Amino acid sequence: MECMQNNKEISNTLMLGNGFSRAIYKDTPDWRELFNTAGCPSVEIENYTYLYELCLLGNNRSDNQFKYKLMDKIKDYVRISNIKIIVKGLDEFGELLRNHNVKDIITTNYDKGIEDILCEKNGYVEQWSDNYGRDLGEKIYSIRRHTTLQKDSHNIRLWKIHGDVDNIASISLGFDQYCGALSKMDSYIKGKYKSSSGLECLNPISQKCHDNEFDNRSWIELFFNSNLYIAGFGLSFSEIDIWWLLNKRMRLIKQGVPINNKIVFLYSDYDKEKSDFDEKIVMLKEFGVEYERIDVDEYFIQSIFENIS
């Protein structure tokens, strides 16, 4: 089964992280708080991948035992009944997506917060057909994993690139999962991707960019063929998969591959307080990523879309 479809239109994509949930839902913890409540040792380490490995070693737990405990904590915080009253525009979120030609949302969040906002507050419905809807072929990694949400003629593909709370095995936290995912991403970029179900994507991303022909099977392509706006995602250096992809994109640009989309990092004062922020900006400049400051306040939703051109 070979994948190849035309994709001539350049659309917009949102990439949302845990900062989005913390802005929308009351008392949503950051990673260190979440790990501490799950019984992790209190150490001065912000990198959650390292924290995760320390937790496993210190508590002598299996991956899935600890993941179940963490996911239960996340479910407690991120739910419609826990939305902050102060945040405006949640019931306009779907309309804003449509009006700004946003067709995809990438998220590192495992929770169902984005689905709840779109379905419960904006009238979107999950699609379950084989042609579009959920790609259920992946059990562990999330190269193709997505859900399609639809309202009238507007479809949004939601890509949970670090896994889904409904599938514990897919949750990416430790070194093993990240390294395995990077291997899959590398195969997709090089045009050597094959799935156990028989799906083959054998055109390298450089050729896809030259031909402006994309198979639309993975969120990876959105870093090359859509305008990507990153919000509520701190871009920690622990997110090695994202930094690897940004670096790969710039390498191809330097080689003359026609890549015409733009990537914009929307940061907040919370992000600026991080010790690695200045280093991050240096790397983003080198990787051709634009950056703009936004406020995380009652107008957070509107501020995101004001930056989408």
What local confidence, expressed as pLDDT, does residue 42 receive? Answer: 67
Residue 68 has what pLDDT?
81
Q: CB of 53 within 8 A of CB of 13?
A: no
- Those residues whose C-beta lies under 8 Å from the C-beta of residue 304, and which sit 6 or more positions away, are 14, 229, 231, 266, 294
Residue 178 contacts by C-beta under 8 Å, 6 or more apart in sequence?
49, 172, 240, 241
Least confident among 68-77, 200-209, 258-267 = 68-77
Q: Is the pLDDT of residue 94 over 50?
A: yes
End-to-end Cα, the chain, rounded Å = 37
Confidence band (pLDDT; 50, 70, 90) for 282? very high
Q: Is residue 223 over pLDDT 70?
A: yes
pTM, two decimal places: 0.91
pLDDT tops 60 at residue 257: yes
Place of tokens 């779109």: 118
Nearest to 12 by CA among 262, 202, 292, 289: 262
Of the candidates 108, 124, 138, 95, the residue with the CA atom closest to the CA atom of residue 242: 108
Give the residue, 209 or 65, on which the prediction is more confident: 209
Residue 59 pLDDT greater than 70, yes or no: no
Cβ atoms within 10 A of the Cβ of 74, count? 22
* pLDDT over 70 at 280, yes or no: yes
DSSP calls for 12-34: EEEEE-HHHHHHHBTT---HHHH
Using the predicted structure, report yes or no on whether residue 36 has a pLDDT greater than 90: no
Percent of the chain past pLDDT 70, that is, above it, reads 90
pLDDT tens digits along 135-159 = 556 788 999 989 999 999 999 999 9
